[in-house]
Structure 1
Amino acid sequence: MIRLLGIAILSTCLAGSALAQEATCKAKATEKKLAGAALTSFTKKCEKDAAAACDAQAASKKLAGAAKNSFVKKCTSDAVGS
């Protein structure tokens, strides 16, 4: 019984954290129904903001060199949604 309760709590926490993640730039643009110049402008700003946030995360993790570049590239790609 306790084992089942523990599993239920763990699965609830995992599901909650997945839902709490922020939407990607592409998802946000689709939600706002952007097109043309507005889409381009929004995407560029979103990518720039994502890169800055990822760079800050890399700094807080004290990454440098190739590890930092790889982390920032993947983090930005995930945030943009490509």
Structure 2
Amino acid sequence: MKQLLSLTALGLALSFSLGAAHAADAPAPTKQQSKMATCNKEAGEMKGDERKSFMKTCLSNKPATQQDKMKTCNTEAKGKKGDERKSFMSECLKK
């Protein structure tokens, strides 16, 4: 029984050390992969055509058009009303 426990403990220790070594050897994400992760985060809860449009603009090297900014800001402003919405939209569109 002691041998079985010892072997199990040794096996677990080796698997953890190999896993950590493998993670350290993983290549850094490419510029495109990093950009994709950032755009996905920014897209948040968007869905359908709105998300497609946003991701296309975000992943391209072109700056977002005013229309794209407006769509994105409108989506993010859901639930805000009155002065709070005006203030939010103003700041969002300046970005």
TM-score (structure 2 length as normaliser): 0.34
More helix by share: 1
